[in-house]
Structure 1
Amino acid sequence: MTLDPRGPRFSAALTTIVFVIVLLTGSGWLALAQAVVFAVGAYDPRLTPYGLLYRYLIAPRLAPPAEREDGAPVRFAQAVGLIFALLTVAGYLSGLTVLGIVGALFALVAAFLNAVFGLCLGCEAYLLLRRLRAA
């Protein structure tokens, strides 16, 4: 599977907004909704609500992408995001607010870096792990 690289960046922008709201409100339930988005994205990023919004509302208004990217690093990044979202959920819903804040901050920083700078930390981790396995 290959992806339009603008799709994951769009998704990261929406994820950034979600985690800002989670941090402002302390909503473990909103973090749980984001965790579901990450779980779907770990299977296929194109099937997330954000991916569908991009595909049907944003992409048709843009020129075709100059290049496409492999979906495997993005799926891995979504799985990493799922872990941080679940930490956030566990923290907020169990009363361990500090754990919720830490999980949300990590997810927020990663999403922000991807949305604004195109730096996908999960994707970079995936590529590093592949290089380490090959060595």
Structure 2
Amino acid sequence: MQIDPRGPRFAAVLTSAVLAASLITDSGVLLAVQALVFALGAAGRSPYSLLFRAVVRPRLAPPAELEDARPPRFAQCVGLAFALFGLLGHLTGTAWLALAATGLALAAAFLNAAFDYCLGCEFYLLLHRARPRPGT
């Protein structure tokens, strides 16, 4: 499946805002909402993607090229893992875990939003290249 590469960057802006608000307010509820968004994104049903397609993309010129959807979906799985660790920190009262996991997720989302550099996508590509090839 091919996607507009501007969609994940738009989602990263919204994700950054939600994660920053979660850190500022120490809100496990906001982090849980973002974890749900990550889970839906990993399944290809991100509400941020739906918002991009319905509201933002019609106002833009067509993309110069499309990209493979697998790396951004993998990145959503990575984000989900960090969000779940953050939630574990909130639920167990382990503040350092909640802060560290949420902060790392925010750092990755911000890199994508501000600089169009997707850490999860890059990690996907590294894993893909490291995978043994049939017959070798």
Q: What is the TM-score normalised by the length of structure 1?
A: 0.96
Aligned-partner Cα distance in 2 for 1:13–1:32: 18
Structure 1: which 5+ residue stretches go unaligned? Answer: none
Q: Answer yes or no: is the 8 Å Cα contact 2:41–2:47 preserved in 1.
A: no
Aligned-partner Cα distance in 2 for 1:3–1:111: 18
2:118 to 109, 117, 120: 120
- The alignment-based identity, stated in percent, is 56
Aligned-partner Cα distance in 1 for 2:49–2:72: 12
Structure 2: which 5+ residue stretches go unaligned? Answer: none
Please list every run of at least 4 consecutive aligned residues from structure 1 whose deviation after the TM superposition is greater than 3 angstroms.
Answer: none
Matches within 5 A, 1:104-115: 104-115=102-113
Tell me if 1:39 matches 2:39: yes
Aligned-partner Cα distance in 1 for 2:122–2:115: 13
Aligned-partner Cα distance in 2 for 1:40–1:3: 16
- Give the greater-gyration-radius structure (CA): 2
For residue 60 of structure 1, what is the amino acid of its counterpart? P
Q: What is the TM-score normalised by the length of structure 2?
A: 0.95
Matches within 5 A, 1:59-74: 59-74=57-72
For residue 6 of structure 2, what is the amino acid of its counterpart? R
Provide the alpha-carbon RMSD of the alignment: 0.9
Aligned-partner Cα distance in 1 for 2:59–2:92: 43
SS class of match (2:30): helix
SS class of match (2:102): helix
Q: Answer yes or no: is the 8 Å Cα contact 1:35–1:82 preserved in 2.
A: yes
Count of aligned residue pairs for this structure pair: 133
For residue 70 of structure 1, what is the amino acid of its counterpart? D
